[in-house]
Chain A
């Protein structure tokens, strides 16, 4: 174990952890904004109840996303300073723009929304949640553009004197084809989580307490959430399909690693699962779908998919001796788990919709259990998706330009990284327990009783208690 290994583990743990909160922030901000808009348009109290109810869950989650996000920005400099030096000219710009254009919008307007119920006119208050939601979704674009540069570097040159990457075309970086497809794929994955949370919580109340006066609100939330989940799942599949084809062009090794395909094949089949070893020597049992990998990678069922061995040989010729192959069991299984968990969530959403057909109220215990699992499934799918795409890029930190092992901070000792990794893991684990307990507590409490907040009025509200206070 050396500082490099620990720095990589820390990046993996802190990033996957951060991204447990991000999808819910991205998706739920928009869904809460839609609920509040419905209330604003119709005056139907159930929408106000749902806005306040899911708004609370949103905020419990939002705080975690904010504080774990700062770590991400600092971590590049702390643990990956040679990487930061190498790409700073290109990679820093989207991060700075993300903060200036998106984070300020998100953070300022979320404050206005939380505390503004009785301080802002209703329209402005509604506009605040939309501004925060737009800021959140915008931030995803910039960070994904930065990440896409690592997957498929474009719009740059290597300065022969300094050996550093320098920006030559910022528009090319922002319109990187990997970024353009990763953005909708990630956003769709985020709405998959948010829709699933809506369903899970509403379903729990519907089945546990079908005679509640708030049943219409929960019915709406369960149906709305199911549709969001299904539409998102469709969007995830479509964007994922396009992404797979782009990935096959720009990072063929990642596609080969997704299948554990050692020899170039045309047509190539896709294995749903494999028992045995994944090093290409011993395969005890596998379920294979013929032509599918060729289709996923090239769009042509008979297309050629390059194998690991050929790519390894080609990369050795191009970049010099060394292994250019990711850890195959990680890429192979994370790819399948991503797809599997995502599809499972969509399947449950279909069941929830079916259970409510023609005005029925769902009552099945099995559906209740499945519903409770629902938000966890797309969260896992998101995590495995990131693990796949980042581990599939290895050994590169910037594909074709810099190896991960060359990006680590030289001046940081093993003891320092270990201290940092341990500290983050401990505080993150503690906060995870607290966060989940709070979410469950507030989800169980159900929709609140509401009285529409008074409009702001400067003359007579001097001593009225605040509509909301920490």
Chain B
């Protein structure tokens, strides 16, 4: 296999991992005002992701670094072209990350209320905007022959991209509700499970619409298979949630997100950022790539370190495998 193809796959894997893991972090954050009826319940919710959210976010930093190293043209054009959405994502991630750490540092209700708002918006904004960004990558954007983005902000806010944003938000909400049902005990667990099914139906409708639209824009046999797989996994997850098999439900939503992201990358390949203007402006896995020497070094680093990272990150989830409830939340 070509090195550029390997790196296209690796970038896809990193974003897939990011969306599976931060997907439920974002879901928990967005559900905070919905499922958390009092401070203790909100703390239960935040503590289900407390030990892991930071490690989950590193998937994004690694994906960004991998893009920079393996496809500098893609990184440069995408990040400068999608300027304002990325700015909003960054501001949201800043507010959310600090909120997790600072929320419990003072007892005043007003203090907590403000950080709760930061967690909510800090989760909602990226959950929507990542969908908008990836839909635009799929759809293609106006790039000139120097691969410079020449569209404006409004170019990114087209109906297809907005549907993409609604889809990722709905998927992450469902994924988050399922995760809360999986990680908590007591009343909140029941409410999360019931909400997961309702949210999941909406997510399924949106996801089917979005993926179908995607396949009319660009498609491949693999993409079609993956899209069907994503829909089936989501429906399976919802069925499991309905009968309160929470482990299976979580597996279902996680696989659905993975296959949906895989659908996008499969449909995109071998392009990485298509141009809607001159086809010469289109960035591909070949013309956006680094030299074979750089890609070879990066491949060895990835081959050696990725299993280690997966092992210790997986172990973290094992350490914090216990469900928590309001009884586990200390007073201070």
**Distance of A20 Cα from B298 Cα, bound (Å):** 31
Q: Is the CB of A438 within 8 A of B47?
A: no
Q: Is the CB of A96 within 8 A of B55?
A: no
Indicate whether B328 reaches chain A with its CB closer than 8 angstroms: yes
Indicate whether B198 reaches chain A with its CB closer than 8 angstroms: no
Indicate whether B79 reaches chain A with its CB closer than 8 angstroms: yes
Q: Is the CB of A88 within 8 A of B68?
A: yes
Q: A-contacting residues of B (Cβ < 8 Å)? A: 43, 46-47, 50-55, 57-58, 60-62, 64-73, 75-81, 83-84, 86-87, 90-91, 93-95, 97-98, 100-106, 148-150, 290-291, 293-294, 297-298, 301-302, 305-306, 309, 312-313, 316, 319-320, 322, 324, 327-331
Which residues of the partner chain A approach B291 to less than 8 Å between Cβ atoms?
A: 89, 166-167
B60 vs chain A, min Cβ distance (A): 7
Candidates A77, A87, A96, A469; contact of B328 at CB < 8 Å: A469
Q: Is the CB of B68 within 8 A of A114?
A: no
**Distance of A170 Cα from B55 Cα, bound (Å):** 28
Q: Is the CB of A66 within 8 A of B54?
A: yes
Candidates A87, A90, A110, A466; contact of B329 at CB < 8 Å: A466
Indicate whether A74 reaches chain B with its CB closer than 8 angstroms: yes
**Distance of A255 Cα from B306 Cα, bound (Å):** 42
Known A67-B98, A88-B69, A466-B329: A112·B80 in contact at CB below 8 Å: no
Which residues of the partner chain B approach A168 to less than 8 Å between Cβ atoms?
A: 293
Known A104-B55, A466-B330: A63·B78 in contact at CB below 8 Å: no
B24 vs chain A, min Cβ distance (A): 15
Q: Is the CB of A59 within 8 A of B51?
A: no
CB<8 Å pairs between A and B, sample of 8: A66-B97, A77-B78, A84-B75, A88-B69, A93-B69, A115-B50, A170-B294, A427-B94
Known A99-B65, A111-B54: A63·B102 in contact at CB below 8 Å: yes
Q: Is the CB of A410 within 8 A of B69?
A: no
**Distance of A100 Cα from B17 Cα, bound (Å):** 13
Main secondary structure of the interface of B (DSSP, over half): helix
Q: Is the CB of A463 within 8 A of B328?
A: yes
Candidates A411, A431, A442; contact of B148 at CB < 8 Å: A411
Q: Is the CB of B68 within 8 A of A431?
A: no
Closest 6 CB pairs of A and B: A88-B72, A77-B79, A92-B69, A96-B65, A92-B68, A63-B101
Q: A73-B68, A76-B68, A423-B87 are in contact. List 8 more A-B contacts (CB 8 A).
A: A66-B97, A73-B61, A77-B78, A89-B72, A96-B69, A107-B55, A115-B320, A466-B328
**Distance of A88 Cα from B79 Cα, bound (Å):** 13
Known A67-B97, A466-B328: A107·B293 in contact at CB below 8 Å: no
Interface residues on A, range: 35 or more
Q: Is the CB of B302 within 8 A of A100?
A: yes
Q: Is the CB of A70 within 8 A of B93?
A: yes
Question: Closest chain A residue to B54 by CB distance?
Answer: A107
B20 vs chain A, min Cβ distance (A): 16
Indicate whether A390 reaches chain B with its CB closer than 8 angstroms: no
B114 vs chain A, min Cβ distance (A): 10
Candidates A119, A411, A431; contact of B81 at CB < 8 Å: A411
**Distance of A99 Cα from B297 Cα, bound (Å):** 15
Q: Is the CB of B50 within 8 A of A92?
A: no
Q: Is the CB of A423 within 8 A of B298?
A: no
Which residues of the partner chain B approach A469 to less than 8 Å between Cβ atoms?
A: 43, 47, 50, 104, 328-330
Which residues of the partner chain A approach B62 to less than 8 Å between Cβ atoms?
A: 96, 99-100, 103-104
Candidates A73, A77, A100, A107; contact of B301 at CB < 8 Å: A100
Known A60-B101, A469-B50: A79·B80 in contact at CB below 8 Å: yes
Give residues 65-120 of A contacting B (CB, 8 Å).
66-71, 73-74, 76-79, 81-82, 84-85, 87-93, 95-101, 103-105, 107-112, 114-116, 119-120
Q: Is the CB of B51 within 8 A of A111?
A: yes
Indicate whether A160 reaches chain B with its CB closer than 8 angstroms: no
Q: Is the CB of B90 within 8 A of A74?
A: yes
Known A67-B97, A67-B98, A420-B87: A465·B68 in contact at CB below 8 Å: no
Give residues 162-215 of A contacting B (CB, 8 Å).
166-168, 170
Q: Is the CB of B65 within 8 A of A84?
A: no
Which residues of the partner chain B approach A409 to less than 8 Å between Cβ atoms?
A: 76, 80
Which residues of the partner chain A approach B305 to less than 8 Å between Cβ atoms?
A: 100-101
Question: Closest chain B residue to A113 by CB distance?
Answer: B51
Indicate whether A412 reaches chain B with its CB closer than 8 angstroms: yes
Which residues of the partner chain B approach A465 to less than 8 Å between Cβ atoms?
A: 327-331
